[in-house]
Structure 1
């Protein structure tokens, strides 16, 4: 387990949160799966809950605002040093701002945007809250990737706005590039699998570390969620696509022989 107290570099996926109609149900599900302790906020914060591991923030779980018909999804936030400047760059590059810049008390500043292919993501300019403070442990954020219906449009958009470099690892039937900042992998952008139903839009996927993918997949089912197929091995870890008990999809991933354990890993 590695703790972090410094701001995340520009463009790094630094936070994820989930807004759902039943916050208490979500808190129970994810606490049961990941061992999180979730502290709901007060009325001023909209009762936004901070999920923690060993007293350090790892994710947010909030209530969908009354009267807002928005899908329940895990939203990935990219760290920025100037949210207004980045929002302007997004529109210049062909994206759009879905939710204008908002000051979140002393925590920081946020906005929600969509790339030209429709994938929605957040921007986070840190104030008192830097984003996730734990890595390399079960329950911590492991990876974020944009799966797009128009890879050829999405890839140059993220390069223009965030200055990403790319490591192409495409294969037969799919395109995929690792997003690089100063040569360091921070995320990915790829094509949405052909197996995805036509109503599924481009989206950012969140992966969470677990100690044992098979055991965690079984736990998902025990908690009322579902598992898409069976866990499978990749060069990056053993993973599975799962859905919580309110229909929200995300990925779980555990170290395997091919990937090895990340630096500082503590199960």
Structure 2
């Protein structure tokens, strides 16, 4: 697997107080299997989709208990340099760049509108081994109430080009690194409760969106939106039993014309 271009989403993990519960939930909903927990790295447990590294789950460190959330990591050739750009661009570095064995170097940060994300400088572990296939990561969007802050920050830290949806009624942007978009940004509207902070919504691929939603709800998840069929696929937004927001999408079931975008 080639090293990912700077700014490419390359990994996702989440902390769960009930690690076994999370494994059962995502194993059932997404078909994940799990490797052995690594006690050397805080019982970090890698998840696999069809035998390929897809994400990871980990119990919280003492003092970090609370609602779970998925953290998306962006590829960087130099995590320390990216951390410096994060600070210069108005973000907060929550965890300084830290070497993780021979796997790589990680950093955790928060952009000015409040969404938390990670930076990953890969070494032995380069990131996702599969993308856009059942059980694997597919897409992500930054949901924010302050889009101007998020847009300026993201395009300053990473070498993104921005495009905005031509529909004046929808405040949505795409960030790309060339031919294909790698990240979306959506303004949070009144449909989001005031207590929900800005966050990065991660999409995982499924064969059948409705069946995945049914499995998730039976396991205690809350359906937040959908299922809905779009030009990008049939998708739904969920909150898992431990509070982590995520979406599922069947990219083979599409409907309607692709929306138009223009340079921002």
TM over 0.5: yes
Q: What's the TM-score bracket when you normalise by the shorter of the two chains?
A: over 0.9
Q: Superposed, which structure 2 residues align to 1:107-186 within 5 Å? A: 107-169=103-165, 171-186=167-182
8 A contact 1:72–1:248 mirrored in 2: yes
Over the residues paired in the alignment, what is the CA RMSD in angstroms? Answer: 1.6
Residue 257 (1) aligns with residue 254 (2):
yes
Residue 66 (1) aligns with residue 58 (2):
no
The TM-score, its normalising length taken from structure 2, stands at 0.92
Q: 2:193 aligns to what?
A: 197
Q: 2:96 aligns to what?
A: 100
Ranges in structure 1 where 5+ consecutive residues have no aligned partner = 261-267
Query: 4+ residue runs of structure 1 moved beyond 4 angstroms?
Result: none
Q: 1:246 aligns to what?
A: 242
Give the number of aligned pairs.
Answer: 256
Q: Superposed, which structure 2 residues align to 1:78-93 within 5 Å? A: 78-93=74-89
SS in 1 for 2:20: helix
8 A contact 2:17–2:65 mirrored in 1: no
Cα deviation for residue 8 of structure 1 reads: 1.4
Residue 29 (1) aligns with residue 52 (2):
no
* Cα deviation 1:38-91 (Å, max 9, x = unaligned): 113232111100001232211011111123234310001001000000000011
8 A contact 1:97–1:112 mirrored in 2: yes
8 A contact 1:170–1:177 mirrored in 2: no
Ranges in structure 2 where 5+ consecutive residues have no aligned partner = 258-264
Cα deviation for residue 176 of structure 1 reads: 1.0
8 A contact 1:108–1:129 mirrored in 2: yes
